[in-house]
């Protein structure tokens, strides 16, 4: 009866237009109703706004962005806006036509939100075709910008509104193709020339020496560019070299800015300069008086060559640096001839041949592969993987052998120990020495089955590479005393024998 009454009241209230709130945590789909009576709240930059569960909250930011949000639990929303890109590079041939807006909730909840940005006709005249504008967010899993699926533009007599729906928050902005920017033509800047940068517009500049700059500022300023062949500052980092001219970029005021630096290299230039994948933009830090790499460096490979790029929010003296090796390049081994490997340096071997590799710490390796491969041998004074909870002491260095493919391996390790080396390594018992390798699957050191000792040389066969070392099995401290006691059983039985003889004599006398 009570159940039927409850159903009756629910139906009655529903017919009267009275809806019951669904409890927090219930399985339900949230929708944002179009309620014109809900007030708009203005959110200061960095301010935390209370979002009440089930209610739709409408927010306006200080920079003109608008947000409608509804959640299934009460949370706080923090909004931080910036003129400059705080994340990774934008997609190729795109530009931001809005501030970067970091939206962050203090809990994991179900949510529905709509993002708005109103543009006046005056703003659009300087930004380009508004129909190409789309909201995008920075995907922290893929580390790249991504367009949201629900994007649309609403035209009004006063301008246009760019909108999107979303069920999650991140860093958001509005992107547009580069071609839609009428102010994006390239300007060639003479050395020492001052270029006018108009607030809000993106300026694209080419220097006389082939560098390129895209810059957008929040205030109108002048940019002066001076390029030189020689380093006008402090010394470069150790073992580096400049593979570009030094470019002094200077604004005549303090402004918020976002810029991308480019340098195109042809295949011919790269052939004379080295591995382009190591090239990075760097600037001279006038506070620390040293060179420093830009945080956001990347390279785009093209059929004609490559482009080295970086994003920055400040100007200084810039160039592109590349490592400069001071070591003599290692030669490749010859089959059948002993070859001394250099620590951490790779070398090439051919399939089907027998090679003899000698490491700097004394390991010898006889090696044959079914595929031509590149191999590197790295030696460690202290093993990167400790032998924990095992009765072994590492006696030698640890070596890591790595290959660039999955070739089948036929290998034999050997390690010769002279009396001097035994003392140096602290070897106590040669019979207890073992080759051991680190098993990545079990995360433990293991001894291979096929190993043996001949004289003062330890040998081991293997068909795989990993971390390898030689360890000595520990002896139990109680072993000697236990062995001593167990080796003289007669002494422990003497009292018992005397006792038995005494009892037998006593019984014999009683019988008499």
**Domain residue extents for the chain:** 31-177, 186-323, 338-473
| CB-based contacts of 319, cutoff 8 Å, min separation 6 | 231, 242, 244, 245, 246, 247, 281, 282
* Domains 31-177 and 186-323 belong to one CATH topology: yes
- Provide the b/e sequence for 63-79 (b: ≥16 CB within 10 Å): eebbbbbbbbbebebbb
pLDDT in tens, 132-150: 899 999 998 888 899 998 8
Comparing CA positions, the residue from 143, 100, 92, 140 lying closest to residue 299 is 92
What count of residues does the chain have?
512
**8 Å CB contact between 66 and 143:** no
**8 Å CB contact between 3 and 39:** no
CATH of 31-177, one of 1.10.3470, 2.60.220, 2.120.10, 3.30.519: 2.60.220
Q: What is the pLDDT of residue 390?
A: 65
Spatial distance between the Cα atoms of 464 and 406, rounded to a whole number of angstroms: 10
**Where residue 67 falls among pLDDT bands split at 50, 70, 90?**
very high
pLDDT in tens, 395-444: 888 999 988 888 899 999 999 988 888 888 888 899 999 999 999 888 88
8 DSSP assignment: H
- What mean pLDDT value characterizes the chain? 82
174 DSSP assignment: E
Which fold is adopted by the domain 186-323?
Chondroitinase Ac; Chain A, domain 3 (2.60.220)
Comparing CA positions, the residue from 180, 192, 190, 197 lying closest to residue 134 is 180
Comparing CA positions, the residue from 367, 395, 366, 363 lying closest to residue 378 is 363
Spatial distance between the Cα atoms of 113 and 175, rounded to a whole number of angstroms: 19
More confident residue, 20 or 152: 152
pLDDT in tens, 445-477: 999 989 999 999 999 999 999 899 999 987 654
> What is the pTM for the complete model shown?
0.38
Alpha helices in 180-304 (DSSP H): 267-273
Identify the helix (H) or strand (E) that includes residue 296: strand 296-302
| CB-based contacts of 288, cutoff 8 Å, min separation 6 | none
> How many beta carbons lie within 10 A of that of residue 469, not counting itself?
23
Q: What is the pLDDT of residue 367?
A: 93
Beta bridge partners of 307: 264, 300
pLDDT at 35 over 50: no
Q: Is the dihedral of CA 10, 13, 14, 15 positive or negative?
A: positive
What does CATH list as the number for 338-473? 2.60.220.30
């Amino acid at each position: 009866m009570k159940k039927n009454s409850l159903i009756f009241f629910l139906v009655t209230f529903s017919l009267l237009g009275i809806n019951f709130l669904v409890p927090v945590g219930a399985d339900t789909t949230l929708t944002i109703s179009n309620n014109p009576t809900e007030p708009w709240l203005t959110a200061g930059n960095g301010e935390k706004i209370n979002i009440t569960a089930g209610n739709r909250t409408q927010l306006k930011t200080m920079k003109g962005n608008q947000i409608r949000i509804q959640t299934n639990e009460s949370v706080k929303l923090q909004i931080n806006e910036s003129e400059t890109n705080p994340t990774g590079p934008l997609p190729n041939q795109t530009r931001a036509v809005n501030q970067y807006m970091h939206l962050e909730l203090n809990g994991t909840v179900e949510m529905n939100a709509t993002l708005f940005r109103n543009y006046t006709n005056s703003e659009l005249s300087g930004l380009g075709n508004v129909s190409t504008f789309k909201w995008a967010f920075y995907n922290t899993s893929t580390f790249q910008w991504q367009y949201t699926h629900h994007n649309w533009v609403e035209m009004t007599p006063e301008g246009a509104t760019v909108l999107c729906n979303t069920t999650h928050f991140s860093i958001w902005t509005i992107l547009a193709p580069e071609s839609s920017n009428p102010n994006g033509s390239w300007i060639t800047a003479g050395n020492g020339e001052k270029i006018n940068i108009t607030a809000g517009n993106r300026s694209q500049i080419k220097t006389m020496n082939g560098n390129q700059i895209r810059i957008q500022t929040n205030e109108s300023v002048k940019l002066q560019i001076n390029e030189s062949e020689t380093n006008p500052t402090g010394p470069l980092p150790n073992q580096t070299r400049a593979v570009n001219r030094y470019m002094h970029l200077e604004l005549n005021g303090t402004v918020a800015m976002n810029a991308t630096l480019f340098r195109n290299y042809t295949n011919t230039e790269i052939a004379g300069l080295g591995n382009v994948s190591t090239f990075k933009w760097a600037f001279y830090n006038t506070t620390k008086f040293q060179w420093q790499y830009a945080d956001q460096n990347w390279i785009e490979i093209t059929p004609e060559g490559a482009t080295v790029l970086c994003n920055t929010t400040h100007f200084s003296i810039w160039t592109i640096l590349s490592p400069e090796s001071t070591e003599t390049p290692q030669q490749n081994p010859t089959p059948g001839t002993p070859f001394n490997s250099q620590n951490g340096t790779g070398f090439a071997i051919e399939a089907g041949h027998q090679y003899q590799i000698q490491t700097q710490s004394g390991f010898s390796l006889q090696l044959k592969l079914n595929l031509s491969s590149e191999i590197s041998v790295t030696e460690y004074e202290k093993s990167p993987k400790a032998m924990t909870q095992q009765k072994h002491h590492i006696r030698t260095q640890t070596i890591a052998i790595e290959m660039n493919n999955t070739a089948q391996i036929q290998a034999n390790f050997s390690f010769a120990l002279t009396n001097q080396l035994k003392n140096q390594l602290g070897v106590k018992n040669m019979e207890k020495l073992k080759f051991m390798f680190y098993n990545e699957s079990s995360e433990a050191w293991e001894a291979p089955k096929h190993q043996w000792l001949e004289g003062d040389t330890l040998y081991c066969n293997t068909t795989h590479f990993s971390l390898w070392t030689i360890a000595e099995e520990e002896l139990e401290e109680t072993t000697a005393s236990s062995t001593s006691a167990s080796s003289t059983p007669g002494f422990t039985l003497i009292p018992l024998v005397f006792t038995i003889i005494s009892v037998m004599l006593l019984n014999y006398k009683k019988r008499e």
